[in-house]
Every structure is written in C-alpha cells, then in structure tokens.
Structure 1
C-alpha cells in the first residue's frame, strides 16, 4: 500500500525537514495542506505554481531524492458556511486546490462537504443530528439544495482537471455517513466526488470503517489512518455527543477556523479521544482496514493523521507508523499465500 502522513502536524517544520521525518518513519507520501481551516504552510509559492512552470518545477524539485512524494492535497474547511468570510474563502480554496493538483500531477483533493445555515439569512451553521421532527427535515431540505448546487459545480471543475475530490465523512457536515454521500452523488450526478475514508470519525459514531469501505466500494477515493479510543466510564455518563467543550480565550493558544470562529477545548474527561493507531484498535484491525481499501484500489493513498494530545508530534507519528507498517506487512504476507 502507499502509506504517508498528512502534514498538518509538521507545520512547525520546514518542508525539507518534514520530508526527512516521514522518510525516517519508513513512509513514502506527504498529504499537503492547501487551504481551508489551515494555511498551506508547506506550499509558500502556491500562487506562482498555478501560473509558472518554473515555480512548479522548483517546488517539485524539493521532493527529488527524498523518497517521499506528494500524496494528495487537503483543504478541509466549510465551503457552505453562511458567513461569506468563511464559506466563500473555503470554497475558493477547494477550486484553487483542484487547479493546483493538476499542476502538480496529483489526482486527489481531500476536503469536507460543508454545512450551511438552517434557513435563508442564517448567520450560523446548523447541524441536524437527529431529524425526528418535521422542522428538522425542512432544514435539511434547504441545506441539501445549497449543497447540491455547490458540489455540482465542483464536480464539473474536478472532472475538467482530472481530479477526484474526496470528502471526509465528518460530523458537523451535511455528508457524514454512506447514505449522505450516496444522496449527494444522486442529487448532483457527480462522477468525481467521493469519500476520504477517515476511520476515526466513523469509530466514535459506532460505525465500522471496514464495513463502510466495503459498502461504498469505488466511492472510496482516499484514506486517513487515525484511531479513536472510547472511554467507557465517561461515555456511559455523557454519551459520544458530549458537549462539555470550553471556549478558549484570546490569550490562550487556539486554532482559527475562519472569520472569528475558533476550535474549543476538548471535554475533560472525554467520552472519546483521537489517539495514535494501536491505542484504540490493534494491528489486526488495521490489517483488515488496509485489506478492505486494497480490494477497492491497490494504489489508494493512506495517510496518517496525528491528533493524539497524549503524544508529541514525532512520538505520535512513530507510534502510528509502526502500527500501520506492521499492518501493511501482515496484509502483504496474507496476499502472498
């Protein structure tokens, strides 16, 4: 399998340093952030690459001899946000990422489906968690109309540039499970919009990523290797939709999500946590995860995403890569039998 790292955790280092770290882990790919919630820290000549062959060739030259190649672009954000300062920017980041992907010889752009407000003139997003009442279905009808128009346009653009757009099945987005991606494809007639299979968000929703991969089949374009640990004692009291988040003040380190929106502090103790591979599910599970992906596409890109706050940046990548490489070796051995 083609195994790499999503580079957000290495934004504190230069691109050459990041490539050296990834190579040292025994991995061969780097998924580059290209906008959305995070800036394209490792693509400082983004604008130049779009118009200059020299700038493009200079950038690609950084990878020569490193043993690490570009393994897709990532511009996770909310292109449907009702606040134009956020939504319009993130939408344009997706368009620019598609164009950049073609310039760099890439065929995968990872992002999120986005989430609109609940009605015309809304200022805030509205995620319908459980549409048991008719009013909630009215909101969803409005949101799907907005989503279909946007993603129909993006699908055409992606097809024109020979790029597949892989949507992370992420809660607080209109597309967060297999039924949703099928609905989006049906509404838009999309041929170049599918799924980035990030196992972590499926785990905490009590879904089985292996079953989801086999259910979606060719709609799975790309994958992220990230684990989740459910903490039974806390989950038993608060459930996995626990909302005990804390707003961080302006004098605390915090991540901007666009406009004046910021990431909040995780509940303490948490019902569930993002953890490095192996801390939630063992090597045997990740072997079957890779097997299911292999059945869809033997050349699919699988990149580690590190968000385990219990481990340092490099330490977390070391733990995760060791598990992923063992799983890959186990898969390879089983295929030779």
Structure 2
C-alpha cells in the first residue's frame, strides 16, 4: 500500500520542495492536480504532452525523492450550466486521462459534476431526497440528459487508454454516495469508472466508510485520507447547514472555482469540520480503514488531503502523516 498526499496544499512550493516535505514525513506517494477548480503548478502539462524526454524527466523528480506519482486529481464541475466552467472542466478531465496514460499513471481522481435543474437553468442545483415528484423530474433531467451522456464519453476515453477514473463521492454532485456511484456505473456500463474512497464526505452524511468499501468492492480504485469531526452544533442544526458566507472574487484569499464563482466562507459554530487524520476518528478506526482497502488491493494508494483549518500547512500534513503511518504499522 502506498501512503502519501495530494500536493494541492503545497502549491506555494516548487514540486521538488513539495516532494521533499512529503518524503520527510515518511510518505511515499503523491497525487498532483491536473486541472478543474484549481491550477496545476506541479504538473507541466504542455511539456508532458509534447515530449517523451519531458515525461521521463518529470517522473525522475518523483523517483529522486523516493516517491511514486499514484494519481492525477482533476476535481471540478464538468456538468456546470455555465459553459465557461463546464467546457474547461470537462476538457480538463479528458486531457487528464491522456496525460495520465502518457505518464503510466493509472488513476485520475475527479468529481461527477452538477447540472442545473432544467435545460434553462443557469446555476447548478444539487437535487436530493426527491419526495416531491417535481424533484424526480429534476433527477431524470440531470442524469439522463446531462450526466450519463458525458460520463459515457469519459468511460470510452478511459477504456481506450486503460486509465481508471476514481469519482470522489462528494455532496453537491450527482454522485455523492455508494448508491449514486453504482447508478452511474450501471448506466454507462463502466469498466474504467469507479470510486475514490474519501471518508470525510461520507462521515458527515452518516455513512460508515468501511461498510461503503465492502459494499463497492472492486469499484474502489483510490482513496483519500481526510477526517471529519462532527460538532455539538449538529445536535441542533443537523449536518445540512446552509450558514455559509459569500466571498467576493476581489477579497484577499478568495479561492476561485471557475467563472465568477468562489469558495464560500465556512460557518461559525459549524455542524462539522474537515480535520486532519485522527482528529475526528481514532487510530483504531483508521487501522480498520486501511485494512479494508488493503483487502481490495494491496497496492492501493491512500493520499492525505489536508483541509484542517485549525492546523497550519506543514503542521496538519505532519499530524495526518503520523496517524496514517501508525495506522499502517509503519
């Protein structure tokens, strides 16, 4: 099993320095961004597409630090109703498959996307719990008219190049839990589209990630190591909490998500928070998580995604790495 990190949290550092940080924490796997919501400073895409020597040199940087490039990450919204976002993110996913194949990397991590509620809609609409048949109409449109046709194209490209697409089951996407992942796999007759098992997004939905692993079986292609802490506020407001704030694109620290959109401000006294591995669930839980993944694939890559806002850049990575390595008995 490879244990490493997604390097997006180290985008302020050149790739060799970022890899040295990960190696210094005892990790041996790296996942780098290849498009979508955020830039890709650790992946010289044009050079890789153009030159075999550039590909060799690039992979040599990882080898020189005792690291393996185990996945590309292209999280975005390829189904967005705004064409400026949709066309870029969709093209980035298809390009990422080609780049991965050229590099000999067999995994691309991404999100399934979210369309509007109808063909005339202008903003994404996450449609859950369709107890009113109007929402079944939304579901039918989003899946049959938008999601399934796009993901058939992805499946074809991935199968042609023998690259596995690992979808992060992320709320605010059409695929957000095992049932929706299986719906997509069945609808497109997938051979190369499956799941990335990121427990953090499952925890706050009330899903037990280890049971999800057992349920999905061989469809789990890749894994993330990110924890979630459920806070006391959840006892009052539950986990579906809309108290997020607007961040203007010109504000200091604003994170753009494509087009005019930005990452919203997290609620004060939130119902739940993303935290470093071990700060939401104990070491025994993480041992069980790694064992479940290893049963599926002894070569599974598990990469830390550091989004703990209470810990600094290196502090959070180091904390997560220590727990993950201890859970693996290293």
Q: Distance in 2 between matches of 1:301 and 1:87?
A: 29
CA distance in 1, matches of 2:135, 2:142: 11
**Residue of structure 2 in register with 1:190 after alignment:** 190
**Normalising to structure 2: TM-score of the pair?**
0.98
- Quick check: 2:224–2:304 contact (8 Å CA) kept in 1? yes
Q: Deviations over 1:88-139 (max 9, x none)?
A: 1000000110000011110000000001111112110111122110000000
Q: Secondary structure at the match of 1:262?
A: coil
Gaps of 5+ in 1: 331-337
1:233-244, aligned counterparts within 5 Å?
Answer: 234-244=233-243
Corresponding residue of 1:253:
253
**Correspondences of 1:277-292 after superposition (within 5 Å):** 277-292=277-292
Match in the other structure for 1:37: 37
The answer for the alignment partner of 1:55 in structure 2 is 54
Q: Distance in 2 between matches of 1:242 and 1:130?
A: 16
> In the aligned structure 2, how far is the partner of 1:37 from the partner of 1:30?
19
- Deviation, 1:315, is 0.3
Whether 2:93 is the aligned partner of 1:94: answer yes
Mapped partners of 2:189, 2:50: distance in 1: 31
User: Over residues 244-264 of structure 1, what are the superposed CA-to-partner deviations in whole Å (9 max), with x where a residue is unaligned?
Assistant: 101013223111000001001
Offset from partner CA, 1:209-254 (integer Å, 9 cap, x none): 000000000010000000000002x112211111110101322311
How far apart are the structure 1 equivalents of 2:206 and 2:303? 22
Alpha-carbon distance, 1:86 to partner: 0.3
Q: What's the secondary structure of 1:77's corresponding residue?
A: coil
Alpha-carbon displacement from aligned partner over 1:37-78 (angstroms, at most 9, x marks no partner)? 0111111x2112112112212222222321112120000000
- Equivalent residue, structure 1, for 2:158: 158
For 1:140-155, list aligned pairs within 5 A: 140-145=139-144, 146-155=146-155
Say if 2:99 is the partner of 1:76: no
User: What is aligned with 1:170?
Assistant: 170
The runs of 4+ residues in structure 1 deviating greater than 6 Å are none
SS in 2 for 1:329: coil
- Which consecutive residues of structure 2, in runs of 5 or more, have no partner in the other structure? none
1:172-231 deviations in whole A, cap 9, x for unaligned? 000011111111111111110000000000000011000000000001000000000000
Post-superposition offset of 1:276: 0.4
SS of aligned partner of 2:270: coil
Aligned counterparts of 1:48 and 1:24: Cα–Cα separation in 2: 28
Q: How many equivalent residue pairs?
A: 328
Across the aligned residues of Structure 1 and Structure 2, the Cα RMSD in angstroms comes to 0.9
SS of 1:256's equivalent? coil
Counterpart CA distance in 2 for 1:251 and 1:77 is: 22
CA distance in 2, matches of 1:64, 1:325: 20
SS in 2 for 1:196: strand
- Is the contact made by 2:224 and 2:302 (CA closer than 8 Å) also made in structure 1? yes
Equivalence for 1:209: 209
Question: What TM-score, normalized by structure 1, do the two folds share?
Answer: 0.96
Please state whether the residue corresponding to 2:329 is helix, strand or coil.
helix
